[in-house]
Amino acid sequence: MTLRYSMLLGLVALALAGSVVWAEKDQRPNILFVFSDDHGYQALSCYGSKVNQTPNLDRIAKEGMRFDRCFVTNSICGPSRAVILTGKYSHLNGFVHNGNKFNGQQQTVSKLLQSAGYQTAVIGKWHLSTDPTGFDYWHILQGQGPYYNPAMDTADGVVKHTGYTTEIITDLALDWLKNKRDTDKPFLLMYQHKAPHRNWQPGPKQLNNYDDVTIPEPETLFDDYSHRASPARNQEMTVERHLTPNDLKLVPQRGLTDEQKKAWDEAYDPKNEEFEKANLTGDDLIRWKYQRYAKDYLRCVDSVDENVGRVLDYLDETGLADNTVVIYSSDQGWYLGEHGWFDKRWMYEESFRTPLMVRWPGKVKPGSVSDAMVMNLDFPELFLEIAGAPIPSDMQGRSFKQVLMGETPSDWRKSVYYHYYEFPGAHSVAKHYGVRTERYKLIHYYELNEWELFDLEKDPNELNSVYDEADYAAVKSQMEAELERLRDQYKDDGSVVQFDQPNANKKKRKRA
Ligand code: CA
């Protein structure tokens, strides 16, 4: 065969392949990424919750796969979102703690999917300070966003909404699916809730949920933080001392309409009277605060569950469900009273682990469970592989599509690296990095040069560090070596990338 002839054949083949692609509707799967903020796996019935039921979210697990070991790289809101957009650890995407501004000029999964022919949208909580890039449509809360009556940013200006934010974000997501997207293209929709983030203001429909029940207390509600390094004792996130009167709804809530305020007054005033009459102290007061806090948190989860159900129903009714990968996760886990805490940040399991359920009809076996160690760092690589788009070599995670198919690769990761930065800062959790393997966890509070080592098999609640125990000397050196290996692999030498124009993609805007 002459060179010219073979080139000609090649061109004909390319043209044919091209005509096949363009003549038919693009059949690549849609990706619906459902994201909540601070939703711990302990508050999902598909994870065996002892405190609530989440029938709609459970559907994703029942019809897909539940991951029992999904970890985050840095357990806090903004940083987790930046990791999911970039597939890079915080020190390489530049967003190491809340208050940073995300550099939208860098490579993101939304831009890569857009170039690959996907339509992209983000609706709800964004929390990265600068404007979204790589999205055809965005309608986002300003900063943290309120639970009621949010003003939201769009490319066309600010839109003021009245109502409950979880419901509004859902209405906007449904409106985009029904009326705003290009139905010839596959989509990535990031549908992201503010709930159940502090200060846990329930929606009007959920104000009286759990009124007549007592929420079971976690085993470690009265943790005394002995047998660990000093940071666990020195934090400021206890149910006992750090929930504010505003958190506990002992003062009037701001930003409500008259009608909303009326419903709130009816729901909360009688409870306040009971509290004042009881005049509680000591453990009884902690128990009361825990009930008050946990119930409001769970009421917020109830609304997320109900609203995700509305979106799942819409996918079913329209037949979109068949070709849509539905992913549910949270930006990190959460302390629902475990260790006596609320909030997140630590490398301890409750906040280091995050829920992850994935439904992909015809591909993922319904009701399957994986204990493979996956991470939020892997999400963008998974999105790209689902779309059949190339995965850039500078992304640091790995697509877990094969894990989803029930075929975990033999060389899948056996350890996870973590790095938390926000100190000094809210809740006073010391900076730390560490490594977790199947059985052990090593944590280094490096500014204090204090260490913890946990044997998760013998001590799943992480109450007793064995770092100084002679029996664990060999484990300790193995874990220290693994920590160094991972710091090297992820290029974490303690420095943080600096961008030339960190704030270039934030515009001032007027009301739309
Ligand atoms: Ca969060």
- Cα of 94 vs centre of ligand 1, distance in Å, is 18
Provide the β-strand partners of residue 138.
Answer: 122
Q: What is the pLDDT of residues 255-286, one digit of tens each?
A: 999 999 999 999 998 888 888 888 899 999 99
Q: What is the pLDDT of residue 506?
A: 66
* pTM of the model as a whole: 0.94
Asked whether the predicted pLDDT for residue 14 surpasses 80, the reply is: no
Q: What is the pLDDT of residues 303-319, one digit of tens each?
A: 999 999 999 999 999 99
- Cα of 97 vs centre of ligand 1, distance in Å, is 12
- Cα of 466 vs centre of ligand 1, distance in Å, is 30
Q: What is the pLDDT of residue 204?
A: 96
Asked whether the predicted pLDDT for residue 456 surpasses 60, the reply is: yes
DSSP 353: B
156-159: long-range contacts, CB 8 A cutoff, minimum separation 24: 156/509, 156/512, 157/509, 157/510, 157/511, 157/512, 158/509, 158/510, 158/511, 158/512, 159/511, 159/512
Over range 232-241, report the average pLDDT: 98
On whether the CB atoms of residues 296 and 155 are closer than 8 A, the answer is no
Name the token pair of 509: 């805007």
Burial letters 232-243, b for 16+ CB under 10 A, else e: beebebbbeebb
Asked whether the predicted pLDDT for residue 188 surpasses 50, the reply is: yes
- Cα of 81 vs centre of ligand 1, distance in Å, is 9
Asked whether the predicted pLDDT for residue 12 surpasses 80, the reply is: no
Helices 165-175, 282-318: crossing angle, 10 deg rounding: 20
Asked whether the predicted pLDDT for residue 436 surpasses 60, the reply is: yes
- Cα of 204 vs centre of ligand 1, distance in Å, is 23
- Cα of 447 vs centre of ligand 1, distance in Å, is 24
Report the percent of the chain where pLDDT is more than 70. 93
Asked whether the predicted pLDDT for residue 212 surpasses 90, the reply is: yes
Cα–Cα distance for residue pair 238/337, rounded to 1 Å: 8
Asked whether the predicted pLDDT for residue 211 surpasses 90, the reply is: yes
Over range 395-422, report the average pLDDT: 98
Asked whether the predicted pLDDT for residue 11 surpasses 80, the reply is: no
Over range 204-225, report the average pLDDT: 97
Q: What is the pLDDT of residue 304?
A: 99
Over range 4-29, report the average pLDDT: 59
Q: What is the pLDDT of residue 195?
A: 98
- Cα of 38 vs centre of ligand 1, distance in Å, is 4
- Cα of 15 vs centre of ligand 1, distance in Å, is 48
- Cα of 304 vs centre of ligand 1, distance in Å, is 14
- Cα of 300 vs centre of ligand 1, distance in Å, is 14
- Cα of 392 vs centre of ligand 1, distance in Å, is 27
Q: What is the pLDDT of residue 22?
A: 46
Q: Sorting pLDDT into bands at 50, 70 and 90, what band is 508? A: low
Asked whether the predicted pLDDT for residue 21 surpasses 80, the reply is: no
Strand (E) or helix (H) holding 124:
strand 119-124
For the chain, the structural domain boundaries read 27-489
Q: Which CATH architecture has domain 27-489?
A: 3-Layer(aba) Sandwich (3.40)
Q: What is the pLDDT of residue 274?
A: 80
Q: Where are the beta strands (DSSP E) in 387-504?
A: 415-420, 432-437, 440-445, 450-455
Q: Which residue has the higher pLDDT, 431 or 503?
A: 431
Q: What is the pLDDT of residues 119-163, one digit of tens each?
A: 999 999 999 999 999 999 999 999 999 999 999 999 999 999 999
Closest CA to 350 of 447, 463, 446, 492: 463
Q: What is the pLDDT of residue 364?
A: 98
Backbone angles phi and psi of 164, in degrees to 5: -95, 125
* Polymer length of the chain: 512
Asked whether the predicted pLDDT for residue 331 surpasses 50, the reply is: yes
Asked whether the predicted pLDDT for residue 85 surpasses 50, the reply is: yes
